[in-house]
């Protein structure tokens, strides 16, 4: 007996962060939209983007974003009456069966859409924070709007805990997705492939966000060069940090560090497939760790800081190796041991490759669609405009939501 085909849905997805400088949430939104489209659903994404920023045809730009210090980093957000008017027009044109908002407590498009819309609303929460002044300030302003959410998703147990502690309510945990087969099929690139005497170690992330941990990895370089004089530390990502900063920090040891800049998705896959070890030295604020799953999918052994989110992705050290968060000496010792033991490295890589299939978009999309159906069945009306949003209501104040300023 064959399964009944899915009922095609008209899905509206709102991303709060700009595609001018895309990060984890933006890539999640993009990949989810394309996975839904591949399964026959109609999808429209609303997100901030400059006029010059290339965006896919299923995406509508809400206009230029403004850099705001928010929750320990710089987020590019769009807010205000003009943006709210764009949200209204997009909602009216979309005639959506379900509205999927990402990070609705962030002062940007998702918060506006939640304030304006009514009907079947699903929200995904990505953030993992021990303490958030921003969310504490935001909660009184968005409390009523949060009651409109019919179903909540958290990308990890850490994100779920943040939601419960700061905003109340609960959520089903559905992890971030990865196109596992695409990374598994990536071919190593000779430019980045190591040798026993000159292994390659890879870091990928925003270079100017301290919590991404690049300084911890760089601090480990002198000890790594003592064990492997020819080691190459390949650093991919955008940011201000570069060769001059590495030279000032490391002196002659900076010769081991190569900055590759931003990479295409294809080059990222080839880089991960070429590495002897992928290193994730993040120091905090991580709710999941999508790049760990990407490296595991590419068949590369992963070494990561022992953050709770990373430990869970790596099955408490069964599908990867952990070191003490923020401890450059422990990173150097653990990585040296791993590089000296190719058989262990192969076992770690194989365990990682076996563990990643639960994160494949084929599985994740099915789980998200199940939540959509629940939200649609639990709502008496389709997505529409909340009349109360026009009756003298005021937009939540952006300045009050800037928790870091």
Say how far apart CA 101 and CA 45 lie, in whole Å.
Answer: 10
Q: Give the pLDDT score at 166.
A: 80
Burial profile 73-87: b = 16 or more Cβ within 10 angstroms, e = fewer: bebbbbbeeebbebb
Is residue 368 a contact partner of residue 153, using CB atoms and an 8 Å limit? yes
Give the sign of the dihedral formed by CA 305, CA 307, CA 312, CA 317. positive
Q: Give the pLDDT score at 1.
A: 38
Q: Give the pLDDT score at 393.
A: 52
- In order of their start, the domains of the chain are 10-177+360-391 (3.40.50.2000), 180-358 (3.40.50.2000)
Q: Hunting for tokens 């026009």 — which residue is that?
A: 390
Residue ranges of the chain with per-residue pLDDT less than 50: 1-4, 397-405
Interval 32-60: pLDDT, tens: 999 999 999 999 999 999 989 999 999 99
Q: Give the pLDDT score at 136.
A: 54
Q: Give the pLDDT score at 197.
A: 95
Q: How many percent of the chain have pLDDT more than 90?
A: 70
């Amino acid at each position: 007996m064959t399964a009944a085909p899915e009922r095609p849905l008209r899905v509206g997805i709102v991303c709060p962060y700009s595609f001018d400088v895309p990060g984890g949430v933006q890539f999640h939104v993009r990949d989810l939209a394309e996975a839904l489209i591949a399964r026959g659903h109609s999808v429209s994404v609303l997100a901030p983007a400059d006029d010059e920023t290339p965006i896919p045809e299923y995406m509508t730009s809400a206009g230029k974003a403004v850099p705001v210090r928010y929750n320990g980093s710089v987020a590019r957000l769009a807010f205000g009456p003009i943006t709210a008017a764009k949200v209204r027009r997009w909602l009216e044109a979309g005639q959506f069966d379900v509205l999927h908002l990402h990070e609705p407590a962030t002062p940007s498009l998702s918060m506006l859409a939640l304030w304006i819309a009514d009907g079947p609303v699903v929200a995904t929460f990505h953030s993992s924070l021990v303490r958030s002044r921003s969310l504490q300030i935001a909660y009184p302003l968005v409390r009523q709007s949060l009651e409109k959410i019919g179903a909540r998703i958290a990308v990890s147990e850490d994100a779920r805990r943040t939601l419960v502690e700061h905003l109340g309510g609960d959520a089903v945990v559905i992890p971030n997705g990865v196109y596992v087969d695409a990374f598994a099929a990536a071919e190593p690139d000779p430019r980045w492939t190591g040798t026993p005497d000159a292994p390659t170690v890879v870091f990928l992330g925003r270079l100017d966000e301290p919590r991404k941990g690049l300084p911890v990895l760089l601090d480990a370089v002198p000890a790594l060069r003592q064990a492997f004089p020819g080691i190459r530390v390949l650093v991919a990502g955008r940011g201000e940090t570069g060769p001059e900063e590495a030279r000032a920090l490391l002196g002659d040891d900076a010769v081991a560090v190569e900055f590759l800049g931003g990479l295409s998705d294809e080059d990222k896959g080839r880089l991960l497939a070429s590495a002897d070890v992928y290193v994730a030295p993040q120091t905090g604020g991580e709710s999941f760790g999508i790049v760990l799953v990407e490296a595991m999918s590419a068949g590369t052994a992963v070494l990561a800081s022992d953050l709770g989110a990373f430990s869970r992705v790596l099955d408490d050290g069964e599908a990867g190796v952990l070191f003490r968060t923020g401890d450059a000496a422990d990173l150097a010792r653990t990585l040296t041991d791993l590089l000296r033991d190719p058989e262990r490295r192969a076992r770690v890589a194989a365990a990682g490759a076996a563990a990643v299939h639960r994160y494949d978009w084929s599985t994740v999309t099915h789980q998200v669609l199940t939540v959509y159906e629940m939200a649609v069945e639990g709502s008496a009306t389709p997505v529409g405009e909340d009349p109360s949003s026009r009756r003298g209501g005021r937009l939540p104040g952006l300045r009050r939501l800037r928790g870091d300023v």
